């Protein structure tokens, strides 16, 4: 009898496979919900979306931070890759502007990730380690961009945090009503960061007034107690 034919080992293998399937279902459900509804989704909602019990969810992911850490691991890889690409650009100013546009686009593509970049999760060790790595790269990018004479001397890394928080708010507020609004925000902020006369990407068009009004109305309803 081969090891695969031993009943006990067959049962153990089946349990491991079932546990892995449940983990993947949970992560897929959380990714869908976080992307469309943000990080405010409850663990109970994730369990329902995944079709598993709360106990099963808790066995796979003991805390909300554990789940967030797992769900956004690949997004943080993309985030780290973006700063590496920016640092590799032979034109540091171009690398700087493209980096800001890229990470804000990542936020726009996933409401959950928009919040992740604008918040801190001390208990999510791996996620925070990748964020710290990218932050150090951004400090280097700032120094290089300032060296071109195009980035304002008073720009600080905290300005990036403010931009990401503002962008997350705009994305949440405009939703599907005026989805391109974030591009206008980023375009205006790049102009605020640049010294007069510095080359900047073309300014995206303003959102349509009717679309923006619908977004304001919807966001007002969501904000009601």
Range of the domain at 193: 73-223
Q: Do both 65 and 131 map to the same domain? A: no
- Tell me, yes or no, whether 42 and 95 share the same domain: no
Same domain for 92 and 38:
no
What pLDDT does residue 131 have? 83
**CATH code, domain carrying 38:** 1.10.357.10
The whole-number pLDDT of residue 109 equals 87
Q: What is the pLDDT of residue 10?
A: 55
Instruction: Please give the model's pTM, rounded to 2 decimal places.
Output: 0.78
Token representation of residue 18: 């079932």
On whether both 175 and 110 belong to a single domain, the answer is: yes
The answer on 139 and 58 residing in a single domain is no
Same domain, 138 and 214: yes
Degrees, nearest 5: CA angle 106-38-46: 120
Q: What is the CATH number of the domain that holds 154?
A: 1.10.357
Q: Are 164 and 105 in contact (CB under 8 A)?
A: no
Do both 19 and 49 map to the same domain?
Answer: yes
Token pair 């993947």 is found at 24
Asked whether residue 189 falls in the same domain as residue 112, the answer is yes
Domain count, the chain: 2
Same domain, 57 and 81: no
Last residue of a domain, one of 53, 71, 89: 71
In the block, which residue shows the tokens 């931070």?
65
Same domain, 94 and 32: no
Residue corresponding to tokens 């990748």: 130
Task: Say which residue the tokens 């710290």 belong to.
Answer: 132
| Cβ proximity of 194 and 151 under 8 Å | yes
Q: What is the pLDDT along the chain (225 residues), one digit of tens a residue?
A: 455 555 555 555 555 667 788 889 999 999 899 888 888 889 999 999 999 998 999 988 988 888 988 888 888 888 889 999 999 999 999 999 999 999 999 889 888 888 888 777 777 777 888 888 888 999 999 999 999 999 999 999 999 999 999 998 999 889 789 989 999 999 999 999 999 999 999 999 999 999 999 998 887 776 555
Q: Look at residues 23, 55, 71 and tell me which one is the last residue of a structural domain.
A: 71
Same domain, 155 and 85: yes
């Amino acid at each position: 009898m081969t090891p695969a034919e031993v009943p006990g080992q067959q049962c153990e293998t089946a349990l491991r496979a079932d546990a892995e399937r449940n983990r993947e279902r949970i992560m897929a459900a959380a990714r869908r919900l976080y992307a469309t509804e943000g990080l405010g989704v409850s663990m109970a909602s994730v369990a329902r979306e995944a079709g598993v019990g709360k106990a099963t969810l808790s066995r796979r992911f003991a805390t909300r931070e554990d789940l967030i850490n797992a769900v956004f691991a690949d997004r943080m890889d993309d985030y780290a890759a973006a700063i590496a690409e920016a640092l590799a650009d032979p034109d540091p100013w171009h690398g700087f502007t493209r980096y800001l546009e890229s990470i804000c686009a990542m936020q726009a593509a996933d409401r959950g990730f928009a919040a992740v970049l604008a918040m801190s999760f001390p208990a999510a060790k791996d996620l925070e380690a990748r964020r710290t790595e990218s932050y150090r790269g951004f400090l280097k990018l700032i120094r290089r961009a300032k060296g071109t004479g195009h980035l304002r001397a008073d720009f600080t890394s905290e300005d990036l945090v403010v931009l990401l928080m503002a962008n997350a708010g705009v994305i949440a507020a405009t939703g599907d009503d005026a989805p391109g609004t974030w591009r206008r925000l980023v375009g205006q902020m790049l102009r605020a960061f640049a010294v007069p006369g510095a080359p900047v990407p073309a300014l995206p068009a303003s959102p349509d007034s009717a679309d923006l009004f619908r977004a304001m109305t919807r966001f007002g309803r969501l904000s009601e107690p």
